[in-house]
Structure 1
Amino acid sequence: MNYKHYFISLFLGGALFAQDANLSDSQKPSNKEEISEKETPNEIKSSQESLPNETHFITASRNERAPETLAANVTIIGPEKIAQSNARNVAELVKYEAGVDVKKKLNTPSSYRIDVRGFGEVASANTLVLVDGRKINMPDLSGMNLDTIPLNRVEKVEVYRGGRSVLYGDNATGGVINIITRKESKKANTLTLNAEVGSYEYYRLGASLEGFAEDLQYAIDSSYTESDGYHDNSAYRTKTVGFSVLSTEFENLELAISGGKSESHFDIPGPRNGQRDSASYDGYYGDLKEEYLTITPKWWITNDVDIELQMNYREAEFDYTYPAAWGPSPDTYTSKDLSLSPKLTIREKWNGINNTFIVGLDHRYSKMEDFGPDKIRRSTGAYIYNTSAFLDETLFLDLGYRREAVRMNLNNGNNYDTNDLDAFSAGLTYNYAPNSKIFASYDRSFRTQRVDEGGGLAFDEALDPQISKTWQTGIQHQFNEKWAGDLTLFHIESDNEIFYDTTLPGIIFSGQNTSYGETTRVGFELGSSYLLTENLSLYANYTYMDAELGKDSSSNNANDGNTIPGVAEQFANFGFSWDFIESWNLNMNAHWNDDQYAESDYANSSDKQDSFITVDARVTYTWNWLSVYGGINNLFDEEYNEFTSATSEYTAPDRNFVTGFVITHEF
């Protein structure tokens, strides 16, 4: 039998009722006893209260909300799914979700890019990534090093599809990924040790300690990861340490403090040069050091009113060597980020209607120092957001508005101001049955240029802000206690979308950063999950996306109607989790990606990158305090390119293996 064709047929069959969230972990029927949680009076909740608490609330709304109350396609990846997954980091964890495309550009852990709803090569500037509500999107074009957030530290991951600039400002045009880290053990002090080894001389060691002592809850973790990498000159190593502390010692006051530090070294392999595991670069590398601190006091004025102030500081230093064509080398750049975010939340009945009203302010200061003039970006935004619950809390109306001002200096030292950035959102959600909803929403979001993203031939000109308008409507339905499904339709129109257009003239290379005239993205996400037996659950999802370039005066409309490169028109996922013997679990996930134009090929002048299908599997044995597992990635040894540019290709690894164990001790 041709196993590839067999899995493709499973996809086609599963697409008829494909899944958005593996039953979202929050849609999954459950007989588990609900975990109690501190509740706030008049907090807006779902009418269904029989689900595990750790996956029942989403905080990407800047207020705890049940997914069933949000006017969007929302996924929560909970602890069980994380424990059974073959993923080594957050990027690999979310790659099987509908509407989410994940690529690893340089085949190093620091080069992952998460793309929500088809923004291609500029996805890192259009998908907002948060850690406990803290932005980790870089102020420059370097992307995010998600490998510094070890999975043993992650409690759950929230995926919110659709614009969210009203609540978070810049970057939240395609969607939001919110990573929630482990805070404490509610049952006992817990020590966790884990180790993992795999192909390409890969190994990882990790340890965490979490627990409580009267009015103090804490969590501490550390990890070390190293690998020679699949390609020539692609070795990497990462060391991390992190902590979080929550104090409730003072009456009506909570004080949360978290911080961390990481050091990474990674070789830069470049594109393929001959054999699949070859690389065009030799001896080039990067060293990245990062540290951050977050302090969040929260004062409960009354049971219904609280004030929160989140203060974040982050500093990074990047030493690198690149081919001479890419600029001075070796070199060092540093970046610093400081943000202050006060927020007032009021939960009260107004005229007999439960309301949650939020008003807040976000101020962020970013500074980047490299071989040129210092690049500084300041942004200040104020927002209001209100949720009203009607009809016995089954109908939810969300309205929000943000006004933001941005000030930035460019490569030539000149300053420019953008003081008229407005974001709006409106959503209506109806819970017509338990775990079922129908919704419609509109969102106007924005994104501005990065500090090293100047326009013009000399890269020193201001670019017009990008404005994206998203309409979406959908339904999530629980057919019975075993079967759930969902369908979301979306339409995104962007004016002045910012990207590097290779069809424009350049000085050394062709191309300029530009604010392109118009782009559109129209598509749908279809999903389902099915509890076939008590021990076997299935999921599948399918995403269709028509992403096109519209009118653009800067290139004389030469690209009108072309497909946005780096975005597949279709992709799908299928998988299952099977407890086949007591204490044994088999988890398998398959991903199909349609062919697509290479990144930067806005003229659509080259052949498309071939489609591919990959399958990952993992077996886990759990006994009391011990969990042992073994996994295979790319089970059928598919040869494919995970990332392809207009001039080069970056091949994906062949079949590879991983095995490890987790030891947990409560005391």
Structure 2
Amino acid sequence: MNYKHYFISLFLSGAIIAQEKPQSTQDTKPTQTPAENLTQSEKVQAESPPKNETLPSETHFITASRSERAPETLAANVTIIGPEKIARSNARNVAELVKYEAGVDVKKKLNTPSSYRIDVRGFGEVASANTLVLVDGRKINMPDLSGMNLDTIPLNRVERVEIYRGGRSVLYGDNATGGVINIITRKESQNSNTLTLSAEVGSYEYYRLGASLEGFAEDLYYAFDSSFTESDGYHDNSGYRTKTLGFSVLSTEFENLELSISGGKSKSHFDIPGARNGKRDSASYDGYYGDLTEEYISITPKYWITDKVDLELQMNYREAEFDYTYPAAWGPSPDTYTSEDISLSPKLTIRDRWNGVNNTFVVGMDHRYSKMEDYGPDKSRRSTGGYIYNTSAFLDDTLFLDLGYRRESVRMNLNNGEDYDTNNLDAFSAGLTYKYADESKVFISYDRSFRTQRVDELGGAWVWPTPPNEELDPQITKTWQSGVQHRFNDQWLGALTLFYIDTQNEIFYDSTVGFGENYSYGETTRTGAELALDFQATEALSLYVNYTYMDAELGEDSPSNDANDGNTVPGVAEQFANFGFSWDFIESWNLNMNAHWNDDQYAESDYANNSDKQDSFITVDARVTYTWNWLSVYGGVNNLFDEEYNEFTATYGEYTAPERNFVTGFVITHEF
């Protein structure tokens, strides 16, 4: 089947249907003529949402174009999780928050916050290198293959989470092949200072204490937060302990200039249980552990050159030290590795009306340097990329054309000698969106994205003590997607997206070869559909359901002499679905419930598809919240019906999920 022709036909048929529906009058932002005595930044505020005010979570999306856009103007399936949904969820971190969204699969291997794997559109065990995660636009994906410690981002500081499904290397470079998740922290407009205290306890001797202080002092917004989390874990030898401290400052004191500074530090200790060994809560390892310390700082000045032109420079620095003990087969024990990551990202944005057409033009550059030191050869990675991106709005801002291009150079280096591997890569993006009514659109888009090897991801078999020493071809991923989102009435909102992903040289890890091997597979394909429905039954009751179908296949040119061609990509479920509701059943009382169904799937690294599949499962989580003025009290239960299931299964063992478990806590908010 020619999928490109199929998607074009879908788009055209959707457009015809849309033309048959009566169009509502679209609200367009009027161009205001500021008074002559206004400062430049005041002129900008007159044309765009005022600085320091929370953007309405229902009407603005930043991630797709690195500028503010209404979701119905974007040529992609996007989702915004707003503050109300965050407050009522059972989630302890962002990974648990996004796991009920269409096209997003979340797994947790160990009982540690850094062992979550967020998989957008079926990349399986290498999802962490194919799903880009941002905090206020700052990349938090590690330069190596270690997981992201999402527990260092307190949910009470998160304003909203944006999910973009599809490749986005044009704007963000490496890692953005499956999708992008942007965590946006709160920058409130209130003049009062707010102190928030929280406490939470639960099963497996879990408890968490948190505190945050935020507010305004004249032209300065500030926020400080800290937390302490500890748990013995469900499995033997699976306890963890995390301490975090963070801050952010936003200054608008200077004319035409906004300065944002944020930073933080976290310390984590976690035991390493290994796979199941006998009972469901047992572990194959005893006494192994890791200690991780991370620090980061981000500085972002933004200068308004005119009321239509602004220049932004984001500067980030991160360093980490990981002390660990592992089984002898994994390397010397104990040992330490350190990593550091530096990035600079200047960006110029021009908003103007050219030849009667509203345009937003973005041009920028991203430079990133990453270095890792461990028991093997020191490794470093440099990437420098430039991009241009333009959005044009036609037909009274109902038809949107997006075009983008990036050129990036990636250099790998061993032992600070000559370049080990250099790649010059191109990314393209094109999208067409027709917004035919409020919250309604049809779209079609194409993205060419890429990913390169991590600093600890050299190719070849690992034969101790000699580490892998082969360069890996860069992975090129082409994504076609088309869909429709339709607002039926005040109660019903529906969306359907079809996508086809073709990947050349997909970088995999095969644990069945020696002690493991990284290699570039010839071709893989993913064909899928995402369906979502939201229903506002009454003012007090809202429901949702979503369904994802995913056919992920290994294609031709396999390194195993084509033996696996046509097999299913391991670690990817063909289907999964979510259902839930939020019900204000009594004044000040809310019941929030979410159910997740996951189809059976092949164990990770089972590229031959010759082992038993991991069984399908259904889990249900529920939470009751009581809110009264400055106090919020809640109680929740996860895995309500005590389902026995494996959240993660690999060829080398099973990692069983917790049984029914409970959590309760409170949040106190005081304004002064």
2:260 to 248, 256, 276: 256
Deviations 1:211-234 (A, max 9, x none): 111111111111110111111001
- CA distance in 1 between partners of 2:609 and 2:549 (Å): 19
Q: Could you say if the C-alpha distance between residues 121 and 43 of structure 1 is closer, same or farther in structure 2, counting changes exceeding 3 Å?
A: farther
Q: Which amino acid aligns with 1:260?
A: G
Structure 2 equivalent of residue 18 of structure 1: none
Structure 1 equivalent of residue 510 of structure 2: 501
- Preserved contact between residue 276 and residue 655 of structure 2 (Cα < 8 Å): yes
- The 5 A counterparts of 1:258-657 are 258-410=262-414, 415-457=419-461, 458-502=467-511, 506=513, 508-509=514-515, 511-657=516-662
- Preserved contact between residue 322 and residue 337 of structure 2 (Cα < 8 Å): yes
Deviations 1:478-506 (A, max 9, x none): 00001100000000000000011356xx4
- Preserved contact between residue 57 and residue 80 of structure 2 (Cα < 8 Å): no
Structure 2 equivalent of residue 29 of structure 1: none
1:237 has 2:241 as partner: yes
- Preserved contact between residue 195 and residue 662 of structure 1 (Cα < 8 Å): yes
- CA distance in 1 between partners of 2:381 and 2:249 (Å): 31
Structure 2 equivalent of residue 203 of structure 1: 207
- CA distance in 1 between partners of 2:511 and 2:330 (Å): 16
Deviation at 1:563, TM superposition (A): 0.1
- CA distance in 1 between partners of 2:398 and 2:92 (Å): 39
Partner secondary structure for residue 123 of structure 1: helix
- Preserved contact between residue 44 and residue 389 of structure 1 (Cα < 8 Å): no
1:179 has 2:188 as partner: no
- Preserved contact between residue 222 and residue 250 of structure 2 (Cα < 8 Å): yes
1:53 has 2:56 as partner: yes
- CA distance in 2 between partners of 1:493 and 1:310 (Å): 32
- CA distance in 1 between partners of 2:559 and 2:614 (Å): 27
Q: Which amino acid aligns with 1:521?
A: R
TM-score for the superposition, normalised by structure 1: 0.91
Deviations 1:343-375 (A, max 9, x none): 000001110100000000000000101112211
Q: Which amino acid aligns with 1:486?
A: A
Q: Give the 4+ runs in structure 1 shifted more than 3 A.
A: 37-45, 410-414
Deviation at 1:411, TM superposition (A): 7.7
Q: Could you say if the C-alpha distance between residues 52 and 434 of structure 1 is closer, same or farther in structure 2, counting changes exceeding 3 Å?
A: farther
Question: RMSD in angstroms over aligned alpha carbons?
Answer: 1.7
- CA distance in 2 between partners of 1:42 and 1:454 (Å): 52
- CA distance in 2 between partners of 1:410 and 1:186 (Å): 51
Deviations 1:363-398 (A, max 9, x none): 000010111221100000000000001111111110
Q: Which amino acid aligns with 1:406?
A: V
Partner secondary structure for residue 537 of structure 2: strand
1:127 has 2:131 as partner: yes
| Stretch deviating more after TM superposition (108-117 or 183-192) | 183-192
Relative contact order: is structure 1 or structure 2 higher (C-alpha 8 Å, sep ≥ 6)?
1
- CA distance in 1 between partners of 2:363 and 2:330 (Å): 44
Q: Which amino acid aligns with 1:75?
A: T
Deviation at 1:189, TM superposition (A): 1.2
- CA distance in 1 between partners of 2:340 and 2:387 (Å): 25
Deviation at 1:415, TM superposition (A): 2.6
Structure 1 equivalent of residue 13 of structure 2: none
Deviation at 1:555, TM superposition (A): 1.7
Q: Could you say if the C-alpha distance between residues 492 and 635 of structure 1 is closer, same or farther in structure 2, counting changes exceeding 3 Å?
A: same
- Preserved contact between residue 117 and residue 128 of structure 2 (Cα < 8 Å): yes
Aligned residues: 622
| Stretch deviating more after TM superposition (529-538 or 456-465) | 456-465
Structure 2 equivalent of residue 4 of structure 1: none
Q: Which amino acid aligns with 1:595?
A: D
- Preserved contact between residue 132 and residue 180 of structure 2 (Cα < 8 Å): yes
Q: Could you say if the C-alpha distance between residues 355 and 630 of structure 1 is closer, same or farther in structure 2, counting changes exceeding 3 Å?
A: same
Unaligned runs of at least 5 residues, structure 2 = 1-40, 462-466
- CA distance in 2 between partners of 1:178 and 1:547 (Å): 25
Identity %: 83
Unaligned runs of at least 5 residues, structure 1 = 1-36, 46-50
Q: Could you say if the C-alpha distance between residues 500 and 39 of structure 1 is closer, same or farther in structure 2, counting changes exceeding 3 Å?
A: farther
Q: Could you say if the C-alpha distance between residues 81 and 580 of structure 1 is closer, same or farther in structure 2, counting changes exceeding 3 Å?
A: same
Deviations 1:38-77 (A, max 9, x none): 89489799xxxxx981342122121111111111100011
- Preserved contact between residue 183 and residue 244 of structure 1 (Cα < 8 Å): no
- CA distance in 1 between partners of 2:43 and 2:472 (Å): 46
- CA distance in 1 between partners of 2:145 and 2:43 (Å): 41
Partner secondary structure for residue 432 of structure 2: strand
Structure 2 equivalent of residue 661 of structure 1: 666
Deviations 1:114-152 (A, max 9, x none): 000000000000000001100011111112111111212
Partner secondary structure for residue 592 of structure 1: strand
2:169 to 165, 168, 171: 165
TM-score for the superposition, normalised by structure 2: 0.91
Q: Which amino acid aligns with 2:252?
A: T
Deviation at 1:105, TM superposition (A): 1.1
- Preserved contact between residue 379 and residue 416 of structure 2 (Cα < 8 Å): no
- Preserved contact between residue 42 and residue 347 of structure 1 (Cα < 8 Å): no
Q: Which amino acid aligns with 1:170?
A: D
- CA distance in 2 between partners of 1:464 and 1:52 (Å): 41
- CA distance in 2 between partners of 1:344 and 1:235 (Å): 46
Q: Which amino acid aligns with 2:207?
A: Y
Q: Which amino acid aligns with 2:519?
A: T
